[in-house]
Amino acid sequence: MEETARIRINLSVREIELEGSEKFIDKYTDMIQEYLRVIKESGAAPSTNKNVDAPGGQGPETASNGNDERVARFSAESLPSSFGEFYSRFPKSIKDVDRILLAGFFFQQQNGNSPFSNQDAATLLLEQNVKLSNTSVFLKGNLEARKIFKHEGRYRVSELGVEHIKKLLAG
């Protein structure tokens, strides 16, 4: 049985996170080194939250699901430019409460980490022919599950919400 490995780099929110077998991770070594070189040359200040887990999951945040599924740390740079492309990455069987979470997250990331409104998320979903009967009920469900929180009369996706989105993506 192959051990699960994780690489996590957080250089002031320009994050990379890969998880899978050591063989899977090895495929990305050159890309990661190039990415770090570009960041270093651009003068980006390193975050105090950098963390690299050792093979076999010795770090505190390692979770093993036994798959070579891509587990990506989301940022505005890593998201596709259209919500439709982002939305199509997820299983069609996801719940409506998750659909509104995805739309809110996408809006938040594409708009400079700005909070989103009920209408912002609903508009993105309508563009994909997804009509939710009562979006405020689904937002309330996400609030109760602490996947989002209120901020200045609008909503923001919490770290718990981001983790949930990553789990949905991984299948």
- pLDDT class of 140 with cuts at 50, 70, 90: very high
Cross-strand bridge partners of residue 16: 9
Question: For position 156, what pLDDT does the model report?
Answer: 95
What does the pLDDT look like over 99-116, one tens digit per residue? 999 999 999 999 988 999
CB 52 within 8 A of CB 32: no
CB 64 within 8 A of CB 17: no
Q: Which one has a higher pLDDT value, 149 or 169?
A: 149
Closest CA to 72 of 148, 157, 167: 167
- What values do phi and psi take at 95, rounded to 5? -80, 160
- What values do phi and psi take at 81, rounded to 5? -75, -20
**Is the entire prediction scored with pTM above 0.75?**
no
Question: For position 33, what pLDDT does the model report?
Answer: 77
Instruction: Say yes or no: domain 83-170 is CATH 1.10.460.10.
Output: yes
The Cα-based distances of 94 to 14, 52, 53 in angstroms read 28, 31, 30
Residue 157 has pLDDT above 70, yes or no: yes
Give the whole-angstrom CA distance, residue 139 versus residue 144: 9
What does the pLDDT look like over 5-36, one tens digit per residue? 777 776 555 567 777 777 777 777 777 777 77
What's the burial of 114, exposed, middle or buried (CB within 10 Å: 0-12/13-18/19+)? middle
What does the pLDDT look like over 36-90, one tens digit per residue? 777 677 664 444 433 333 333 333 333 333 333 333 445 555 788 899 999 999 9
- pLDDT class of 143 with cuts at 50, 70, 90: very high
Give the whole-angstrom CA distance, residue 49 versus residue 12: 8
Question: For position 50, what pLDDT does the model report?
Answer: 36
Domain ranges of the chain: 1-73, 83-170
CB 115 within 8 A of CB 155: yes
Give the whole-angstrom CA distance, residue 13 versus residue 110: 14
